[in-house]
Amino acid sequence: MSDEKTRSGCPFTQGDLGGEDLAPAGERLTYNSYLKVPQLLELQNFESSPPAHDELLFIIIHQAYELWFKLILFELDQVAEEMEKGAVHEAWRLLQRVLKIETLLVQQIHVLETMTPSDFLKFRQALNPASGFQSIQFREVEFLTGIRDTSVMQHIDQTDHDHRRLTARLSEPSLRTRFYKLLQREGFDVVVPEEGEVLEGARREQTMAALEPLYREPKERFHLYTLAESLVEHDQNILLWRFHHVRVVERLIGTKPGTGGSSGVEYLSSTLKKRAYPILWEVRGRLYDDGVYGMG
């Protein structure tokens, strides 16, 4: 494949598209070589001995999650850049892709329910002390979104590379910060909260009051309104994923502790209170049944 074709990002040769390709077969890019399929299929290694039938399902489900997390981070990083540029529509458009992926992630977890609790127990101890709690990419999604519970850093086994990634996420503005700064540039008298801060008192009231017009008359600033609502939906999808995850875990292990040393379902249930955009959730509470906003 020529350098020009490589730079263009096109993964196919002319022959793949139906035209004549005279290049030797050994030099042609194929579906398998482009996607690294042989290498990908070598990454599912059993820890149980003898191998438990359902361990392959468990591995593939979670490997697929990590691939989707990689794409979510890739897209959210671009959303952040678009917000910085004031490209509201493009930020919204890319968020729609993230929302579709997140819907898929909620559905995907229920494939694990095809295991019986006894099937899971055949290989669960082989996983110890590994735990989904240790997913570095999921923590990156949280930090980038604006959910910054830094205490998790003390409980995750991290390589130096992992630590650098998480620390870098904590050092950069979250999507929440970027969105409030975008609102300020667009003329809204909102307070930009510190990372991890929950606005209270006069600062909270100022921001709620500034956001009321956006929700009272969404058609007046429709791109900003739809971006705000997409961020709320992103927040909601993380919450839904957590909720469905808790229920699946409860069906499989009941009240047993988690393999990573957590309290299991009890710990997972405690995460259901996390919100990245509490003010955006709350401001709609000022809308009365007749569509008029008030201070009640």
Both tokens of 97, joined, read: 């892709």
How far, in Å, CA of 196 to CA of 273, rounded? Answer: 14
Both tokens of 56, joined, read: 């392959």
Runs of H (alpha helix) within the chain? 3-8, 31-35, 37-40, 55-85, 88-108, 117-121, 124-127, 136-145, 160-171, 175-185, 201-216, 222-253, 265-270, 278-282
281, 146 contact by CB (below 8 A)? no
Whether residue 58 is annotated as binding a ligand: the answer is: yes
Amino acid identity of residue 39, one-letter, is: Q
Whether residue 245 is annotated as binding a ligand: the answer is: yes
How far, in Å, CA of 85 to CA of 287, rounded? Answer: 31
Whether residue 62 is annotated as binding a ligand: the answer is: yes
Whether residue 60 is annotated as binding a ligand: the answer is: yes
124, 218 contact by CB (below 8 A)? no
Cα angle at 67 between 52 and 170, to 5 degrees?
120
How far, in Å, CA of 120 to CA of 118, rounded? Answer: 5
Whether residue 259 is annotated as binding a ligand: the answer is: yes
274, 239 contact by CB (below 8 A)? yes
Whether residue 59 is annotated as binding a ligand: the answer is: yes
Please state the residue numbers annotated as binding site for substrate: 58-62, 124, 259
Please state the residue numbers annotated as binding site: 58-62, 124, 245, 259
Please state the residue numbers annotated as binding site for heme: 245
